[in-house]
Structure 1
Amino acid sequence: MWGNRFVGEEVLAFSAEKLFSIVLDVERYPEFLPWCKDVRVLSRGDSSLVAEVVASFLSLRGEYTSHVSFCPPRDNQPGWVKVRSTDGVFRLLQSEWRFLPMGSEKTLVKFCIKFSFRQKILQITFDVAADVAKHRIMRAFRARAYELFGNKDLGR
Structure 2
Amino acid sequence: MAGVPETQEHFSAAAHGWPVRQESRSNSLTVQAAATRGAILDRPLPSKETSLPTVKRSARVPYSREQMFDLVNDVEQYPKFLHWCRGARVDLVQGNTVEATLDIGVLGFHQSFRTRNTLTRPQAIGIDLVSGPFRRLRGEWRFAATPNGGCDISLTLHFEVTLSPFGIVFAKIFEELAASQMTAFIERAKALYGAGT
Q: Which residue of 1 aligns with 2:30?
A: 2
Q: Secondary structure at the match of 2:67?
A: helix
Inter-partner Cα distance in structure 1 for 2:80 and 2:161: 24
Residues 1:145 and 2:189 are matched in the alignment: yes
Residues 1:69 and 2:146 are matched in the alignment: no
Q: Could you tell me which amino acid in structure 2 is paired with residue 59 of structure 1?
A: G
Q: Normalising to structure 2: TM-score of the pair?
A: 0.66
The aligned length equals 147
Q: Secondary structure at the match of 2:131?
A: coil
- The change in CA–CA distance for 1:22 and 1:119 in structure 2 (over 3 A counts) is farther
Residues 1:112 and 2:156 are matched in the alignment: yes
CA shift, 1:119, in A, is 6.1
Identity of aligned residues (%): 24
Compare the two structures and name the one with the higher helix fraction.
Answer: 1
Q: Name stretches of at least 5 consecutive residues in structure 2 with no aligned partner.
A: 1-28, 34-54
RMSD: 2.3
Residues 1:54 and 2:103 are matched in the alignment: yes
Q: Which residue of 1 aligns with 2:135?
A: 91
> Conserved in 2, the CA contact under 8 Å of 1:64 and 1:87?
yes
Q: Which runs of 4+ in 1 moved over 3 A?
A: 126-135
> Conserved in 1, the CA contact under 8 Å of 2:31 and 2:172?
no
Q: Which residue of 1 aligns with 2:39?
A: none
> Conserved in 1, the CA contact under 8 Å of 2:32 and 2:175?
no
- The change in CA–CA distance for 1:43 and 1:134 in structure 2 (over 3 A counts) is closer
Q: Secondary structure at the match of 1:93?
A: strand
CA shift, 1:146, in A, is 0.5
Q: Which residue of 2 aligns with 1:17?
A: 66
- The change in CA–CA distance for 1:121 and 1:56 in structure 2 (over 3 A counts) is farther
Once structures 1 and 2 are overlaid, which stretch shifts more, 99-108 or 12-21? 99-108
Q: Normalising to structure 1: TM-score of the pair?
A: 0.82
